[in-house]
């Protein structure tokens, strides 16, 4: 068989494969994790989150936006999502670093950096296994009042 015939066959097979490749790309998009946009903010200058409960599905790609809606106080706030029952211990550890979260902390699922009044910050993460996950502000002294729950459903 000559090289030219082989080349023609390859070209034909390649052109037949193109529609399948394109349709395959389309299917891949639908099998991507569900994208969920969540918005949360401080209750003005008060030590509370609004809302203090949120819900998403396990495996969802969560795009979370946090807004510091304070007007008067210079207190910094952030949003830290941790494994169940780990809020107090992570908060205690964060006191030593003035509230900064270590990126290597395996107890922390996601967090946004500290921000001042009027600022907005974002993060994204894959929603963990179904369960109730606490979130809080890691500025020293805030977590006791400024916390909430992310409900992850099956």
53 binds other proteins, rule: CB under 8 A: yes
With contacts defined by CB under 8 A, name the span among 9-17, 24-32, 105-113, 133-141 that binds other proteins.
133-141
- Within positions 60 to 99, which residues make up the interface with other proteins, using CB under 8 A? 71-75, 85, 87-88, 95
Rounded CA gap, 91 and 83, in Å? 12
Q: Is 101 in the site for other proteins (CB under 8 A)?
A: no
Does residue 116 bind other proteins (CB under 8 A)?
no
List of residues 6+ apart from 119 with CB closer than 8 A: 67, 68
Out of 24, 46, 55, 130, which residue is the one contacting other proteins (CB under 8 A)?
46
Burial 85-124, CB ≥16 within 10 A → b, else e? ebbeebbeebeeeebebeeeeebbbbbbebbebeeebebe
Nearest distance from residue 96's CB to other proteins, in Å? 10
DSSP state of 34: P
What does residue 119 show for φ and ψ, rounded to 5 degrees? -90, 155
Count of residues that bind other proteins according to CB under 8 A: 30
Residues that bind other proteins (CB under 8 A): 43-49, 52-53, 71-75, 85, 87-88, 95, 134-136, 140-141, 143-149
């Amino acid at each position: 068989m000559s090289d030219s015939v082989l080349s023609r066959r390859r070209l034909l097979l390649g052109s037949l494969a193109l529609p399948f490749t394109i349709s395959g790309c389309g299917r891949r998009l639908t099998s991507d994790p569900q994208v969920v946009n969540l918005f949360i903010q401080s209750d003005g200058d008060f030590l509370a989150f609004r809302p203090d409960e949120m819900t998403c599905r396990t495996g969802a790609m969560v795009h979370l936006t946090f807004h510091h809606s304070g007007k008067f106080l210079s207190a910094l706030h952030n949003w830290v999502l941790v494994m169940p029952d780990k809020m107090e211990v992570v908060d205690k550890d964060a006191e030593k670093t003035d509230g900064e979260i270590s990126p290597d902390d395996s107890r922390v699922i996601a967090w946004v950096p500290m921000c001042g009044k009027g600022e907005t910050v974002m993060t994204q993460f894959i929603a963990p296994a179904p369960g109730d996950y606490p979130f809080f502000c890691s500025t020293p002294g805030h977590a006791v009042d400024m916390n909430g729950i992310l409900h992850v459903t099956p």
